[in-house]
Amino acid sequence: MKINVLDKGYVRLVNVMGSDLTVVNSARVSYAKESSELTEKDKSLIRFLAREGHTSPFRHATLQFEVYAPLMIARQWWKYVVGSDHTMDAWNEASRRYITLELENYIPKTNEWRSKPANSKQGSGVPLSVSLGSELTERLMKQIQQGVEDYEFALEQGVAAEQARLLIPSAYGMYTAWYWTGSLQSVAHLINQRVASDSQYEFQQFAKAIYELTKEHFPVSIEELMSQNNN
């Protein structure tokens, strides 16, 4: 269960606890009732819960993902863990303080550079010309190459990995890996915000991958949670 994203990134579903039936039975325990299979009546209950904002039953189902993405995505993603007041999320990330991972960077193609938006302080506007994109890609690759050489030189000289990493280039574009575990409610919250048209394009691609992996196990719940957000 893995979806490739951007040039080198991916999202992999590692583990799942629960199903749409978990949501239903978590709600029905109040009446000492339990369903053994999902019925149309159960689907109606899920719709009611999502519509009325009764979100606690959605927190009894969890998903665990492995994500490999540029740091600019990882640091935005981390805010969902820090700011989570409705569930407990978990996050564990690879550390260059302990190990020397292969250096990989997100490098936009020459036709993938975007202008700044005309009426906003964030986000993107129209695509830039390929000629300018070519120069930007070339400048980025030169910066990365020099930084990699400096980083490897420091390691060869016996510099501690926790200091040598200061020489790692293109911090925002450097790939990092982490495990993220969240409740179904938390996952739906991230998807809803990050598939929005005004979200950063690169993050949109990761959010779409999370959605595709989630709906395989929670087809009714995820659709209802998303539709209520879009109403």
The residues annotated as belonging to the active site are 194
Chain-centroid distance of CA 167 in Å reads 26
* Residue 191 vs residues 55, 58, 92, 219: alpha-carbon distances, Å: 16, 15, 20, 14
Tokens standing for residue 156? 């060869």
The residue to which tokens 């910066």 are assigned: 143
Angle between helices 201-215 and 184-194 (to 10 degrees): 140
Q: Alpha-carbon distance 176 to 94, whole Å?
A: 7
Helix extents (H) in the chain? 20-28, 40-52, 71-82, 130-156, 161-164, 184-194, 201-215, 219-230
Q: Alpha-carbon distance 76 to 203, whole Å?
A: 9
